[in-house]
Amino acid sequence: MGNERIVTALFHGIETGRLANTLLFTGPAGSGKKTLAAKVAQKLFCPDLCGRCPSCTLLAREIHPDYLLIGSEGGVVKLEQARQLKAFLSAPPNSAAYKVAVLENCHNLTVEAGNSLLKILEEPPAASICILTADSAANVLPTLVSRSQVYTLTALPRAIISGVLQEKKIPENQSWFLTGYSEGILGRVLELLAESDFWQRRQQMALEIKEVLARRRDPLLSSDNWQLFPEEALDLLEFWLRDMIMLHINPDYIPVNKDLQASLEECLANCPEDKSIALLDQCAQARERLQARCNPRLVFDCLALKMWEV
């Protein structure tokens, strides 16, 4: 959804026999890379995309013998996955005219996996299509990028996201928040909607931010909670701080956390603009530390103490 131009280009390539053997789909998590890969496979297996034939049915159930999706444990592609790809593509197709293999997270390859993958792509087996996915082409080995046709999935406009939420009859307050918080990534919205505990965690997070900034709550107790869901806690805190900064600058701004505006206003009173900006900076540092596999408890202890400091 929202990337129709890419779909049209890919389908045109299939219809005219000009689809490359290796495709690279890039975009943030939840932007639809896997969905697009499955769509390409469906078009290759069933040009009419009928949705009813054995090919379409097996593909929809992710058990088509000529389609393989290779995820990667811990987000790192290792030699084992590259070998799995090679073994799958080397055998001739079972029922379809092509074999399609999808390898996720190609921005994160071990050296051995990268070398092995390059060899496969240099001499692709006949009738095989290899689809690589990554967060950004800039993070993929240049030698892999140069062998691929690259398609970049973009964030969707607000109107599309809010349209989907309206169709799902999501209450206005939640819909407003999700539209801002998802940053145009539909997969993120759908994931949050499927998670029944999210709203409660968010409510608790907002309460704790407010209490820590007001120095009414032990910051280390909050850190204990936040380090249990580190990525999400950072996301929520960052959006909260951005709202605060915007409200400091422009009191008429409609915050992403509109439904919790009273709590936001209370935070403004306890945390001036320069401190809000400094804390947003701290969040970015915390994210880098988490990515570098620092201990989440220490990362959040440090962050919560900065919030508590005057």
Q: Which residue, 15 or 172, is less far from Zn ion as judged by CB?
A: 15
Neighbours of 255 (CB within 10 A): 20
How many Å apart are CA 206 and CA 37, to the nearest integer?
A: 38
Supply the angle between the helices 79-90 and 111-122 in degrees, to the nearest 10.
Answer: 20
How many Å apart are CA 307 and CA 1, to the nearest integer?
A: 40
Q: Does 97 bind Zn ion (CB under 5 A)?
A: no
Q: Which residue, 53 or 87, is less far from Zn ion as judged by CB?
A: 53
Q: Does 58 bind Zn ion (CB under 5 A)?
A: no
The minimum distance between CB 92 and Zn ion, in angstroms, equals 21
Q: Which residue, 87 or 97, is less far from Zn ion as judged by CB?
A: 97
DSSP string over 15-79: HTT---SEEEEE-STTSSHHHHHHHHHHHHH-TT--S-SHHHHHHHTT--TTEEEE--GGG-B-H
Instruction: Say if residues 153 and 7 touch (Cβ distance below 8 Å).
Output: no
Q: Which of 1, 9, 53, 60 binds Zn ion (CB under 5 A)?
A: 53
Q: Which of 1, 50, 87, 138 binds Zn ion (CB under 5 A)?
A: 50
Nearest alpha carbon to residue 239 among 202, 214, 294: 202
Q: Which stretch binds Zn ion (CB under 5 A): 56-64, 89-97, 165-173, 193-201?
A: 56-64
Single-letter amino acid code for the residue at 48: D
Q: Does 60 bind Zn ion (CB under 5 A)?
A: no
Q: Which residue, 40 or 46, is less far from Zn ion as judged by CB?
A: 46
**How many residues of this chain bind Zn ion (CB under 5 A)?**
4
Q: How far, in Å, are 269, 271, 282, 307 from residue 276 at the CA level?
A: 11, 6, 10, 9
The minimum distance between CB 55 and Zn ion, in angstroms, equals 5
The minimum distance between CB 96 and Zn ion, in angstroms, equals 11
Supply the angle between the helices 230-249 and 296-308 in degrees, to the nearest 10.
Answer: 20
Q: Please provide residue 171's backbone torsions phi and psi, each rounded to the nearest 5 degrees.
A: -55, 150
The minimum distance between CB 54 and Zn ion, in angstroms, equals 8
Q: Does 46 bind Zn ion (CB under 5 A)?
A: yes
Nearest alpha carbon to residue 117 among 32, 45, 14, 24: 24
Q: Does 56 bind Zn ion (CB under 5 A)?
A: yes
The minimum distance between CB 98 and Zn ion, in angstroms, equals 14
Q: Which residue, 50 or 221, is less far from Zn ion as judged by CB?
A: 50
Q: Which residue, 50 or 97, is less far from Zn ion as judged by CB?
A: 50
Q: Which stretch binds Zn ion (CB under 5 A): 49-57, 88-96, 239-247, 282-290?
A: 49-57
The minimum distance between CB 57 and Zn ion, in angstroms, equals 8
Residues near Zn ion (CB under 5 A) are 46, 50, 53, 56
